[in-house]
């Protein structure tokens, strides 16, 4: 369920190395979320920095039973990015320069969608190699079960079971760590 | 008709196949199956978008400098990947079992596991591409938990002399995980291959002369740091190698 027990425990316990390790492991994802949400590199780097500082200062509030560390960090980053968008909009209204702002829809996405994508990508990378490979062929190459079987040399039944289990794993992680995890009731799908 | 088969639900959600008339009738009235397909469709859509976030660049070091200044933490960058990869390579004599050095503090092991988790895929690519000829998979096994658990894994024999093992969902331990080849006809006979980092992959040398037709059962155990090199008897995952 939570692949980061050890790092999370050390982080919560105030181990300074754990902060650097969390940054090395998840800094790229946090920056990506901020960049896609804000569309501005300087602001995105500020949000990344503020996210890790806030996470460290609030490390005792991290509850590993409620989800993984990546989801928690991305949740903090999302709130900080949204706050920044709101304050930018306020400033813009004050300055009456709203029309001068670039149209946001073209370059930015909802932070929730980016967050979901990062969490699912992280889980995909953790799947056993064959499960991961079969799902990549289905997702990225649009191959069907029989085509994946032909490409990988795996029996059709094995391909089906890898894909079924892989999808179940991605779904479970998404339900625990995804953007809607707080609002979605714990359904039966949580128990695989 | 009964609920749709789990494979069929994935078919409908991921592969855009259309429901046959009988299935359509069931789907019209079964909110459970509808919800399953809807969730799987969402996961599938998100999954298709993950390709663009697979190799994200790290933030510039100035971001870390700001974090360090604000928190008073002065961490160094993680151990270079090379330092972690090296112990995974087959040793020159290839015979000795490998274990993590006893003096290695838990944090170092955690660092190694963290770096491996991040560069896992890359590492395997480097390991396999750096050793011509390209590793041929001669046997493989799916590793299943012995008790009810979310642990899972798989193993592949590469080039007949190495075992690549990947596992995830292993339970937290203060000890470490160890990979064995067992003789399923007499499970007191076994061969240790080495240790496995938590939730990462390892490529372990298979001692020359090992008969994989006899020692065909891959076993992942959890071992305490008690100085006893024998199997703890606490197996987490097992699977039989097949060609």
Q: How far is B30 from chain A (nearest CA, A)?
A: 15
pTM: 0.57
* Closest residue to A15, CB basis, from B107, B140, B201: B107
* pLDDT band with cut points at 50, 70 and 90 for residue A92: low
The set of residues, in sequence order, having a beta carbon less than 8 Å from that of B218 and lying 6+ positions away, is B141, B143, B155, B163, B165, B179, B180, B181, B182, B237, B238, B239, B240, B241
Report the Cα A85 to chain-centroid distance in Å. Answer: 20
Instruction: Return the number of CB contacts < 8 Å for A and B.
Output: 173
Q: What angle do CA B155, B160, B165 make, to 5 degrees?
A: 20
- pLDDT reading at B82 higher than 70: no
Residues of B with Cβ-Cβ distance to A121 under 8 angstroms:
50, 53-54
* Closest residue to A16, CB basis, from B10, B52, B73: B73
ipTM of model over 0.85: no
- Tell me the per-residue pLDDT of B159-178, one tens digit each, with 9 for 90 and over: 888 999 998 888 888 888 99
Q: Which of A54-63, A89-98, A166-175, B123-132 has the lowest mean pLDDT?
A: B123-132
> Strand B176-182 relative to strand B190-196: parallel, antiparallel, unpaired?
antiparallel
How many CB atoms lie under 10 A from the CB of residue B120? 20
Radius of gyration of chain B (CA): 22
Cis peptide before B161 (omega within 30 of 0): no
- pLDDT reading at B20 higher than 70: yes
Residue linked to tokens 């692949």: A3
CA–CA dist B169, B220 (Å, integer): 12
> Which residue of chain A comes nearest to B76, CA vs CA?
A20
Cβ contact (<8 Å) for B39 and A125? no
């Amino acid at each position: 369920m939570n692949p980061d027990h050890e790092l999370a425990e050390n982080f919560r316990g105030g181990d300074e190395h754990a902060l650097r390790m969390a940054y090395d492991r998840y800094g790229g994802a946090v920056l990506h979320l901020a960049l896609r949400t804000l569309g501005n590199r300087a602001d995105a780097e500020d949000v990344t920095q503020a996210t890790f500082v806030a996470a460290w200062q609030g490390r005792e509030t991290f509850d590993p039973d409620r989800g993984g560390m990546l989801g928690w960090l991305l949740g903090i980053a999302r709130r900080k990015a949204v706050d920044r968008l709101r304050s930018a909009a306020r400033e813009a209204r004050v300055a009456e320069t709203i029309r001068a702002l670039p149209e946001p829809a073209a370059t930015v996405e909802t932070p929730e969608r980016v967050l979901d994508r990062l969490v699912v990508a992280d889980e995909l990378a953790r799947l056993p190699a064959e499960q991961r490979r079969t799902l990549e062929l289905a997702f990225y190459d649009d191959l069907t079960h029989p085509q994946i079987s032909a490409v990988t040399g795996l029996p059709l039944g094995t391909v089906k079971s890898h894909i079924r289990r892989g999808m179940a794993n991605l779904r479970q992680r998404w339900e625990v760590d995804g953007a809607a995890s707080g609002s979605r009731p714990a359904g039966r799908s949580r128990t695989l | 008709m009964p609920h749709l088969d789990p494979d069929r639900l994935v078919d409908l959600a991921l592969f855009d196949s259309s429901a046959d008339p009988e299935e359509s009738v069931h789907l019209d009235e079964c909110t459970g199956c509808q919800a399953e397909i809807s969730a799987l469709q969402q996961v599938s859509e998100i999954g298709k978008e993950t390709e663009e976030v697979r190799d994200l660049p790290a933030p510039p070091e100035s971001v870390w400098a700001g974090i360090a200044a604000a928190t008073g933490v002065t961490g160094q960058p993680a151990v270079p990947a090379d330092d972690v990869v090296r112990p995974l390579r087959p040793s020159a004599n290839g015979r000795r079992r490998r274990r993590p050095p006893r003096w290695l503090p838990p944090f170092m092991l955690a660092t190694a596991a963290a770096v491996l988790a991040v560069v896992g895929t890359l590492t395997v690519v480097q390991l396999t591409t750096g050793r011509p000829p390209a590793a041929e998979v001669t046997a493989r096994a799916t590793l299943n938990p012995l008790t009810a658990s979310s642990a899972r894994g798989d193993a592949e024999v590469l080039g007949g002399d190495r075992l690549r093992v990947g596992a995830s969902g292993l339970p937290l331990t203060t000890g470490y995980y160890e990979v064995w080849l067992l003789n399923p006809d007499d499970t007191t006979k076994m061969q240790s291959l080495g240790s496995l980092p938590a939730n990462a992959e390892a490529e372990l040398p298979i001692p020359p002369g090992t008969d994989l037709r006899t020692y065909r059962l891959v076993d992942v155990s959890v071992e305490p740091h008690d100085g006893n090199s024998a199997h703890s008897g606490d197996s987490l995952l097992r699977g039989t190698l097949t060609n």
